[in-house]
Amino acid sequence: MKSILGGAVRRAAALTSRQNLTEATKVIQHALSGGARGDRAESARADAPRDRTPEEPKSAALWSAFAPPPAFTPPPKGTAASDASIQDPRQDARKAPPIGEVLHLLQKGFVPVRAPGFAPHVRPAPEVPTPRGAQFVSKTHAGPAGSRDYKLFVPSNAKSRADGRGLPLIVMLHGCTQNPDDFALGTGMNALAEKHGCLVAYPKQPTSSNNMACWNWFSLKDQARDSGEPAILAGMVREIMAEFSVDPDRVFVAGLSAGGAMAAILAATYPDLFAAAGIHSGLPYGAASDVGSAFNSMRKGASGEAALAVETRVRTIVFHGDADRTVHPANGELIVAAARAGLGAATEKTLQGRSAGGVPYKRTVIADKRGAEHVEYWRLEGMGHAWSGGHPDGSYTNPHGPDASREMMRFFLG
Contact partners, residue 302, CB within 8 Å, separation at least 6: 283, 284, 286, 287, 288, 330, 331, 334
In sequence order, what are the beta bridge partners of 157?
Answer: none
pLDDT per residue as tens digits for the range 346-399:
899 999 999 999 999 999 999 998 889 999 999 999 999 999 999 999 999 999
**Beta strand extents in 144-274 (DSSP E only):** 146-154, 167-173, 199-203, 246-256
pLDDT per residue as tens digits for the range 278-305:
999 999 999 999 988 998 999 999 988 8
pLDDT per residue as tens digits for the range 121-167:
677 889 999 999 999 999 999 999 999 999 999 999 886 555 668 99
Please give the C-alpha separations between residue 157 and each of 193, 222, 339, in angstroms, as whole numbers. 10, 35, 34
Rg (CA), the chain: 22
Beta strand 387-388 with 315-321 is unpaired
What is the structure's pLDDT at 143?
Answer: 95
- Quote the Cα angle for 120-125-145, to 5°: 70
Q: Which of 257, 281, 355, 405 is catalytic?
A: 257
Among 27-36, 66-75, 118-127, 295-304, the least confident range:
66-75
pLDDT per residue as tens digits for the range 189-247:
999 999 999 999 999 999 999 999 999 999 999 999 999 999 999 999 999 999 999 99
Fold classification of 135-413 is Rossmann fold (3.40.50)
In the chain, where the domains are located:
2-72+89-107, 135-413
Whether 257 is a known active-site residue: answer yes
pLDDT surpassing 50 at residue 108 = no
Nearest to 203 by CA among 139, 252, 247: 139
